Homo-oligomer: A and B are copies of this chain.
Amino acid sequence: MSDFAKHRQDSAALLAVIGFIIITILSVWKLKQFKYRLVHETGGAMFYGMVLGAMVRLWSGWTEDSGGGCSCVGLNSSQTNQGSPLVSTLLKETFDPEVLFNLFLPPIIFHGAYTLNQKRFIGNLGSVVTFAFLGTVITCVIIGACVYGFTRLMVLLGQAADGDFPLTDCLLFGAIMSATDPVSVLGLFSELRVEPDLYALLFGESVLNDAVAIVLTHAITTYSHMGGGHTFDTPAFFLSVGYFVAVFAGSLLLGFIFTVITALLTKFTRLCESPLLETSLFFLLSWSSFLSAEASGLSGIVAVLFCGLSQARYTIHNLSSESKTRTKQLFEFFNFLGEIFIFSYMGFVLLTFPHHVFKALFIVGAFLAIFISRACNIYPLSFLLNLGRTTKIPRTIQHFMMFAGLRGAVAFALAVRDTSTEVRRTILTTTLLLVGVTIWLLGSATGPVLRWLDIRVGVDADENPEDLPFDQVATGRPDTTLGLWHRLDYKYLKPVLTHSGPPLTGSLPLCCGLLARLFSSPRACEDQEQLQDTEAGGASCELERAETLQGDTGSNSEPEHQEDLLEGDLGLGTSPAQAVEA
């Protein structure tokens, strides 16, 4: 095929995709108009993806008479393409899972982290981290064990050979399925305005557990590549645990480094005079965190996640108000299109992937496993956390969290990256089915379940939590978090990276005086100088103004400080619990 003809076909394929995205947007929006809030964009997108897939199947079945069905998507370059070369080339180029992982997923993850309600997230940090780390590991292990049990059953029933499904592959499936999806439930949440704490818990958990699931998947892959598979291999196990910790910490650090660069750039320059430049730099530096992690063999998604979290905590305070809006809108835009694209793609792959492996028992086992594992994650951890929390996680919310274990983009992206073996193809097929069923069934049931559990919706107060007076936020503070982190955050990071927080000259030791002056906010310095000037001149009204200025700077950070330092444990039972069951 000539370059020109190829280009025309690529354009046509892309046009078809865009056409379907447009139809998805319009139809889901139209459904919402009729108050059918049940169907989220993601569910609709997946449906239309399946329609497109069905059309492609029909078309390729029609254009070629050679039997054996359609083989369209070049999900793995090593796979042989038996079907229409035209369709396969066309789609192989247009829909590459790597494109999905490198182009569409990062903005989605960044957007999730960047738009997280900071106050509520910090307030629930202990619980969120517990659910995300401990919970994900529990989920992974239980799904793995459960599915392994079912594969043994398959062996007994003669549906699989002994050794077809080693434990590591079952654990891998567990790791892939342990990433819950923030998209569909949360989209409905913000529409229904659910209780902010439930929102923060679920959103925080689903954002963070993506990171854990991704690194866990890589760690298990590392383990199984090292030869472990049928017997337990102690060195390989510790090496993969080390790998997990190193990749996680390294990616976290890289993400944070790029936040530091962005924050210092926006703090010490007058870039805020040009929102376009500021937005562009913010975008490029955040993207760099992803690329640098990928380039150094770490996890780009984890880096971009922590970059998003820290950008929202520090850099955003240095941006001009127009840039704040612009950056949020920009990522909202990328997130929206990326989500629709990924879910359409899932639907499409579900119908066109030529090497689906449907193992009924494996699928049944997986369905059971995700519910059992979710229960073993939420209820025991909630019980443990409630020992330490001032505001308990009520039963209804626990039930709802149990229910909201949808799977989505990250699980799919992890499953689709490697389809070289039969087991991996079984995993992809099962993942796709699980994603589809949880998105459609659980996603549509969210509204009724919320009503049935009698969870408060239409909560208006937290629409813009930054405007809330301190008391309101502080009294609602449900969780207790690590004091060390808060001292670091408030005494050092905030003053270095933003214009708020106490002066560095006070918090740093005397020997670091130069450093303290260097990193002090120019605004704070100006205020200080202004104060000195007016003192020298003795103009009392000027002095008052300067004090007001200083007061203003302080008041930005003081409430947060008080809030942050209110309690100082990890939310695991070290502080006296108050019996405030909601």
Residues of chain A touching chain B, judged by Cβ–Cβ distance below 8 Å, are: 3, 7-9, 11-12, 14-15, 18-19, 21-22, 25-26, 29, 33, 77, 98, 102, 265, 269-271, 274, 276-277, 279-281, 283-285, 287-288, 291-292, 294-297, 300, 326, 329-330, 332-333, 336-337
Contacts and interface: CB of A to CB of B under 8 A. Distances in A.
Given A21-B284, A333-B330, A98 B7 contact: yes
Contacts of A295: 8-9, 11-12, 15
A15 B280 contact: no
B29 A277 contact: yes
A337 B15 CA distance: 24
B274 A18 contact: no
A48 to B, nearest CB: 14
Given A18-B287, A285-B22, A295-B15, A333 B280 contact: yes
28 contacts: A3-B77, A7-B98, A7-B102, A7-B294, A8-B294, A8-B296, A9-B295, A11-B292, A11-B294, A15-B291, A15-B292, A18-B284, A21-B284, A22-B284, A22-B285, A25-B277, A25-B280, A26-B265, A29-B271, A29-B274, A276-B332, A276-B336, A279-B333, A280-B337, A283-B333, A326-B333, A329-B329, A330-B333
A41 to B, nearest CB: 9
Contacts of A276: 329, 332-333, 336
B25 A288 contact: no
Contacts of A291: 11-12, 14-15, 18
Copies of this chain assembled into the complex? 2
Contacts of A287: 18
A37 to B, nearest CB: 14
A22 B284 CA distance: 7
Given A11-B294, A15-B292, 18 more contacts: A8-B294, A8-B295, A8-B297, A11-B292, A11-B300, A15-B288, A15-B291, A19-B288, A21-B284, A25-B277, A25-B280, A26-B265, A26-B281, A276-B329, A280-B337, A284-B337, A326-B333, A329-B330
A32 to B, nearest CB: 9
Contact of A281 (B22, B271, B329): B22
Main secondary structure of the interface of A (DSSP, over half): helix
Contacts of A270: 33
A103 to B, nearest CB: 11
Nearest to A293: B11
B98 A288 contact: no
Contacts of A102: 7
A7 to B, nearest CB: 7
Nearest to A291: B15
A280 B333 CA distance: 7
A557 to B, nearest CB: 28
Contacts of A271: 29
Contacts of A22: 281, 284-285, 288
Contacts of A294: 7-8, 11
Contacts of A296: 8
B326 A329 contact: yes
Contacts of A274: 29
Contacts of A281: 22, 25-26
**Closest CB pairs A-B (n = 5):** A11-B295, A11-B294, A12-B295, A15-B291, A11-B291
Contacts of A9: 295
A418 to B, nearest CB: 10
Q: Kindly name the residue among A9, A274, A295 whose own CB sees the greatest number of chain B CB atoms within 10 A.
A: A295
Nearest to A5: B297
Contacts of A7: 98, 102, 294
Contacts of A15: 288, 291-292, 295
